[in-house]
Amino acid sequence: MKHLPYLILLLTGACTFVGEPPARPERVEGYVPVYAEASAGEVKFTSPRTVKAPGKIYTYGTYLLINEVNLGIHVYENSNPAQPEPLGFLEIVGNTDMAIRDNILYANHLGQLLAINVTNLSTPQKVGEVTITRWLLGVPPPARSYFQCVEPANGLVIAWKKETLRNPECYAH
């Protein structure tokens, strides 16, 4: 249990603020949070898509799983590693990490650690969840950038879009 805070930090991708940001500019290219919509909370299996921003790679049985950072997990049939066959995409908004044991996929998702039965990957069944209490911003802003401060009342951040900011108050180191 003594390592639990470190595991939570790893799973949340929480950003750290070290030292002082550069002098605050009047106008600067920065990032604006994109908040989760109600449908972002659903975990669903969809058709295959192209890998654009790969994260963790995991094998389980004859499956190859590739995380698409903050979007979900690509699922491939990997009986022939020379030619993996795309099966579909498991949409898990905000996902950056995963592990599987005994047909249970553990994945972070919008402030939750989910347990999903993947005996049949095309019909995933959520079997449990644990709230990650230190989930502060959702998806952290890009490092070394100004960003519009997060308004927790607007929900969890699932992405960031680049825009010109006026007098930004927040900076990620």
Backbone angles phi, psi at 22, to 5 degrees: -60, 165
The per-residue pLDDT for range 7-39, each reduced to its tens digit, is 333 344 444 445 566 678 899 999 999 887 756
Please give, one letter per residue, the 3-state secondary structure of the chain: CCCHHHHHHHHHCCCCCCCCCCCCCCEEEEEEEEECCHHHHCCEEECCCCCCCEEEEEEECCEEEEEECCCEEEEEECCCCCCCEEEEEEECCCCCCEEEECCEEEEEECCEEEEEECCCCCCCEEEEEEECCCCCCECCCCCCEEECCCCHHHCCEEEEEEEEEECCCEEEC
The amino acid at 160: W
Query: Using one digit for the tens of pLDDT, what is the confidence trace for 105-163?
Result: 999 887 789 999 999 888 889 999 988 765 555 667 888 899 999 888 887 787 889 99
**Residue 147: φ, ψ to 5°:** -150, 155
Domains of the chain: 22-172 (2.40.128)
Cβ partners under 8 Å of residue 8, min gap 6: 132, 133, 134
Q: How far apart are CA 14 and CA 142, in angstroms?
A: 11
At 144, the amino acid letter reads R
Q: Is the dihedral of CA 52, 54, 60, 62 positive or negative?
A: positive
pLDDT by residue (tens digit) across 34-93? 887 756 778 899 999 999 999 999 999 999 999 998 899 999 999 999 999 999 999 998
For the entire predicted model, the pTM comes to 0.68
Dist. CA 167–CA 149, nearest whole Å: 11
